[in-house]
Amino acid sequence: MTRPNRGERRWVPSQRYSPIDASIAAKHVPSFPLVGEIQVADVETWRQSLKTQGRRVGWNAILAHAYGQVSTQIPQLRDVYVSRPVPYFYRHPEPIVSLTIHRKDANGAERLIWARITSPQNHSLDELQSKIDCFTSKPIDDVFKDGLRLEKRLGPIRRFNWHLLMRWCGRKRAKHLGTFSISSLGHLGALNLHHPIVTATSLAMGPIKPSGICDLALICDHRVIDGVLACDALRSLKDTLRHLVCNS
């Protein structure tokens, strides 16, 4: 009698440790998504025109720059909720963006890394794109040192580090995780609306439709951000993107 195929067990590869740990930490963040339609035809036309000048600027750089400006105008977007030893809000003096980047490591394994850029609103789009390109092309050992160092530790130690980072120190949390994040799959034709977050807010951009409209999701930590403030942030982001083209 032929035995049925019962599948196989495999050890969790080390490159999955960071996403797993981040997902576990994000379970304690009571988040809600807010989705708005945004007209980006002018921005996309302008972005494509840059290619004729030998310049390549991706949407991650544009969103990081624009939302960095919004975060300086709306200081609550730089707040972090800290629950220990007593609950309080910590406000970071400057925006820090955390970009989710999917790439291959030196062994050819696909993995996620997170790129942090401080004060993206103070960098030109070309500078931001150059920084992002470094994270996507340079050896992971050079651009993701902190993450790799943490991955080498035992599971209980990694979880304890995340516990301290998420609950005890607002300044370190903002410094190491960012004040806002960007995780978009619009270039793949999808909107990742419910991705886990460990920052006060996170942006996700959907695919651009032929009409030039796309869905833009803002996922918020409800302990810090309410729906009305989130709407104000999206509205300010729309205005900032429009001015970005007008002032270019």
Q: Residue 88 belongs to a domain with what CATH number?
A: 3.30.559.10
Beta bridge partners of 201: 180, 220
Helix (H/G/I), strand (E/B), else coil: 105: coil
pTM here is: 0.91
Residue type for 2, please?
A: T
Q: Could you read off the pLDDT of 107-118 as tens digits, one per residue?
A: 888 899 999 999
Q: Which residues of 176-206 are buried (b: 16+ CB within 10 A; e: fewer)?
A: bbbbbbbbbbbeeeebbeebbbbbbbbbbbb
- The range of the structural domain enclosing residue 143 comes to 14-246
- For the chain, the domain total comes to 1
For residue 161 the two structure tokens come to: 């580090």
Q: Could you read off the pLDDT of 122-171 as tens digits, one per residue?
A: 999 999 999 999 999 999 989 988 888 888 898 899 999 999 989 988 89
Residues of the chain with pLDDT under 70: 1, 246-248
For residue 8 the two structure tokens come to: 């196989």
Residue 8 lies in a domain: no
Residue 232 lies in a domain: yes
Residue 3 lies in a domain: no
Residue 1 lies in a domain: no
Residue type for 47, please?
A: R
Alpha helix positions (H), 109-191: 125-137, 140-143, 145-151, 155-167, 170-177
* CA–CA dist 220, 232 (Å, integer): 13
* CA–CA dist 144, 128 (Å, integer): 17
Confidence at residue 128, expressed as pLDDT on a 0 to 100 scale:
94
- On the CB side of 14, CA atoms within 13 Å amount to 10
Confidence at residue 247, expressed as pLDDT on a 0 to 100 scale:
65
Residue 35 lies in a domain: yes
Q: How far, in Å, are 17, 65, 72, 176, 239 from residue 244 at the CA level?
A: 38, 9, 16, 28, 9
213: part of which helix (H) or strand (E)? strand 213-221
Confidence at residue 246, expressed as pLDDT on a 0 to 100 scale:
61
